[in-house]
Structure 1
């Protein structure tokens, strides 16, 4: 029998830690732990394996792993910061004409003690002039050994020779600095020091009247409490997440008064496809509480959490080693999963332009509006300097930012004083002589009834048209087409072939059909056929989305098996009997339904409308 996680266990939220150890833990002991803590029922075929390695391989969960003492130490270092032996500098890989450019100095390091600074150059190491990037390895070495470096000051141009003693240096998991007057925090993991360092950064820069940038790119996760506490400094204390075990029981993660809201400035989060787990939990809290926006790529989509069982939790079973077990599915403060789906950014931009676009959004509120744009987005207000946007290093990023704006964004141009006038992104681009390519510029957009929904999905790359530039809003949607649309919105990953004879593996919808069937959101017409060219009716769309809702959010899960209340049955009488309960369940989420002709074939326009409204009602969009 599983039980609620005890207070002494911490939740680890991180990307897969791939191991193939020889376990000291016996198969019987591992089986008992899995049976007690694993998020799903563990099959007998798994529990019957003869050794731990075979058991974990049969389980097929890359996040449930056994770790030897050495591997557990490495795992803890990956969360709390790596320890290296060297002089404590971060350098640019490419060799410049002056040698290695020093990008940063690690705290409490030999380099810091010697007075080296960011922007200095290492010209020679132990008397050998730097000519190759491979020479950087010689800065590291055995603890206590010495290395002589020739350093060119980036400020004074003076050259000096220094002999430093190599020592252990902790690589910080959070750093912060002022970049052109903007507080920029870089976080590579949510560990023991993350919340404290973020608090220091906000306190130190509390007088800045500009948005703050937090870089979570390639942040694989960390520990729940660290992510929750860090988010609280931007949102105020409160509920940060929910965790649900295999029996449907919830554990709430809530921060207290020791995590006060330290800033009124909006937060700009930088994300990419490697931002995962605890970093997604953090981003979801910022989204739900409307404390900022995310700029960049859709995140990885790891919505399950692990507990770590070690000698602290089970001293009779472990001696420095540990077992990491997937025990929970986690949800945002408002009950939304990011499992597979990830976090959709507010502004979807490539990594080439995301950092510069974020910097453009950090201008202070001007006393005179002349020369500025004002942007209302996801409950936040940002100001953009026209002068900065016109600079060579920002022009393309500004163009991409304008193209990434969803239709709900409000862009205004300053007329001087306190006057602002609403303008289109195309007009803003034109004022700087930039091109502007609207992401939803279909040549038959006038045929759409749900124009904003079509535009919103298109701006996030979840919807597309035909090669001739049309959208064909009133065309009926097929089962294959809807599988592609919905699997893209949910970011479903490829799965094994469902084996339908009428879905060849080389068709454009095959992967989407397989993924939807694997999740249980779609089924074949028979055991061997799917009928991808058949049209879907409106009530079939509703039924499919209702099934998805129980996976996407806690509200959908709560009513997944509920019948239509007697008082509401008349409202869904137009639906077929099998579709009435799903229609009611979807309505309870706040998805508006068309009840006039639910048995009629659904159009592409209606499909886009339902998907967009579903994403919005479930809380997957940043209030856009």
Structure 2
């Protein structure tokens, strides 16, 4: 999966959480000298035999034979360096959708992506059946404003079919100077004909944390992507709410969040729990075996929490939702998440090149693998708009000569406007948010209150 406008890399990891480590490969050369004694010669022979047993010699011969055939017989001349880079790229992309060879521009873009600023259309993409899959459009970007949706399949870019095009190439074509335009043909589920979108590229600046206060003192937090400072920004917002108001609940919106920095996801969970495991990883190497646990400092205390997820919630988003669900610290509302439960490590090869290699799998505190499974919500709510049914009732206050209300200072009866939610327009447009808000309001009403 890769970030639109953000190169092939991070990607999915934007649905992706990224660790940086260095891989060194040691090669031992064995030289047999006639003057060596029999024991030394025997040791050298044994070592050579072990190396020979580890290497598929026939396959290596096949590789060199094919390499030479391409050099000499391909219709156009291709230099050796390019052929070797093609071979490396093919070797990595054949492993899984998230491993990739990062050449200079892609490596640089990966670093830009974790900082939350990059150029392009604002789409997190992956690959499916040879087409480019829209994992999620990013908030307030050209793609999101144009109406591109998670699950859309990009069929062509500026009239050129993407079938057979690598994910990296597709991402590069979608990038460009701010203001320049690109036309996408999209296949959408339940649509008979292809949809055409012409988008103007823009500089994408992703604000990681956005907050609002809904009625009933319910705090709303939208995390669009996990960046380096996401955890501290969230904790600061919660502490500010608790200092100013009687915070009755928090809605943590992780919908269409493709992931990001693993440490940031851990920090977010740590804002809600004070002890216990948050996430752990398993891989083939010792460095891939890592676990993260909560600290004593918890910004949210015991404030009720609802987490919103959908099919565009991936990687770090799923770590947060899974941890809070396992700890029974939050109610998960929405639809099933994306299911990216693998760890990608960026292994530098040179100063400008690296490989992004899948090295481990994520597991929730209860040992659930997120991979190709995702997080199932506790309360399943499909997205739709809230459409109130308008019906007029005559009430006591409408009757001529009705008695005044003695508990109101002005003596007037309570009107419909008194009950109107100041955030009603926001909630009308977002049924999942409306349901989450209703759930938290119910919890608040039923919670024991201190006696006056």
Bigger RCO (CA 8 Å, 6+ sep):
2
- How does the TM-score come out when normalised to structure 1? 0.37
- How does the TM-score come out when normalised to structure 2? 0.50
